[in-house]
Structure 1
Amino acid sequence: MKNKRLAVRTVILLVLAGALAYTLYSNFFKDKQIVGIGDQAPNFVLTDLNGNEVEFADYRGKGVFLNFWGTWCKPCEREMPYMENQYKVYKDQGVEILAVNVGEPELSVKNFVERKGLTFPVVIDKDLEVLEAYGVNPLPTTFLVDKEGKIIDIITGQLTEEMIKNHMERIKP
């Protein structure tokens, strides 16, 4: 009887240890990239700084420069004026910028946007659900999405104005 109980306890302990090991492995060692090049960009609905709902699917038919950023992120801050300049050039050519802030307070984001004079749409991912769905790490990360909603490239790190211009050309319908 004691041997049987010991065997059952050992099996339960091994199963728990295996589950713990898998959880640690998947959280720390597996590639967090959820979507990749060639995949359909996941749809989402977030609220912009004017309180309007923005649905990603509504951008179908346009090229989308989908940028994940934070106000505290210096590389993000440095590339924002370049994004604004290129937005002015490409918005009438079927290319949109959608900047997804990663869970910061609305007031901080509004102040940043006003200070930088940004006119492209900015939404806040309050619960970081979109960040997780796209597997974003690190910031800034930009997804280039074509007019069919397919991801054609994923760029991590700060972009120069020339790089942004070239990427806009790539997603122009």
Structure 2
Amino acid sequence: MKKMTLIALAWVLLIAVPAQAAETFPDLSMTAKMSPAHMKYLSVTGSEFKISDIKADFVLLEVYSMYCPICQRDAPKMNTLYQELAKTGQDKQIKVLGVAAGNTPYEVEFYRKKFKVEYPLVEDPDYVQHKAVGEVGTPAFYLLDLREGRLLILFSQIGEIEDVDEFVKIVVETTEK
């Protein structure tokens, strides 16, 4: 009986605690050598832009490095995610963007070609963006909500995508809430 009372009390306290505000993400300023198709996909003009300039409701941001073996293993999974969003038409509201921590434009292009990456990748040779996000390990993923004029983190994960189908499901379901 005591156990049931404690469980009920814990449940009431849990419900009574106000929900915490979503954490905000820094509005990274980026300079990138992107194709016209990638600029159009992100709806940005020129090679300098901020995340908040991207015309979408959500951005799935991947922090990666071409030298990271886990990132290399995840590249096909990210390609699948990008293609699934395009297949279902969700690529209009959810944009995918990769930030290459410590990588030069040459290294970004090498990675893009080697792994056949279709979504936009931006270089971060001096680790400016990487430092702004807390020098996270790679790969790191952030699902950002851009709808309210600030960047809210809806979901984040550091480390390998274990199951791409489950990861796609999490991204899609999180944006539907």
TM-score between both structures, scaled by the size of structure 2: 0.69
Residue 152 of structure 1 pairs with residue 147 of structure 2: no
Q: CA deviation at 1:121?
A: 0.9
User: How far apart, CA to CA, are the structure 1 residues paired with 2:72 and 2:141?
Assistant: 14
User: How far apart, CA to CA, are the structure 1 residues paired with 2:23 and 2:157?
Assistant: 15
User: How far apart, CA to CA, are the structure 2 residues paired with 1:103 and 1:59?
Assistant: 23
Residue 59 of structure 1 pairs with residue 54 of structure 2: yes
Aligned residue for 1:116?
115
Residue 172 of structure 1 pairs with residue 171 of structure 2: no
- Ranges in structure 1 where 5+ consecutive residues have no aligned partner: 1-36
- Ranges in structure 2 where 5+ consecutive residues have no aligned partner: 1-20, 36-46
Q: Does the residue aligned with 1:66 lie in a helix, a strand or coil?
A: strand
Return closer, same or farther for 1:133/1:38 CA change in 2, 3 Å cut-off: same
Aligned residue for 2:82?
87
Aligned residue for 2:139?
140
Q: CA deviation at 1:114?
A: 1.0
Return closer, same or farther for 1:166/1:135 CA change in 2, 3 Å cut-off: same
Q: Does the residue aligned with 2:154 lie in a helix, a strand or coil?
A: strand
Work out which structure has the larger RCO, using CA pairs closer than 8 Å and 6 or more positions apart in sequence: 1
Q: Does the residue aligned with 1:81 lie in a helix, a strand or coil?
A: helix
Aligned residue for 1:48?
32
Aligned residue for 1:161?
164
Q: CA deviation at 1:126?
A: 2.3
Q: CA deviation at 1:109?
A: 1.6
Between the two proteins, the alignment pairs up a number of residues equal to: 137
Larger-gyration structure (1/2):
1
Q: CA deviation at 1:106?
A: 1.7
Q: Does the residue aligned with 1:158 lie in a helix, a strand or coil?
A: coil
Q: CA deviation at 1:171?
A: 4.3
User: How far apart, CA to CA, are the structure 2 residues paired with 1:59 and 1:41?
Assistant: 14
Q: CA deviation at 1:56?
A: 0.4
Between the two proteins, what is the percent identity of the paired residues?
Answer: 20
For the aligned residue pairs, the C-alpha RMSD in angstroms reads 2.0
**Greater than 3 Å deviation, 4+ residue runs:** 170-173
**Residue correspondence of structure 1 range 120-131 to structure 2 within 5 A:** 120-131=119-130
Q: Does the residue aligned with 1:114 lie in a helix, a strand or coil?
A: helix
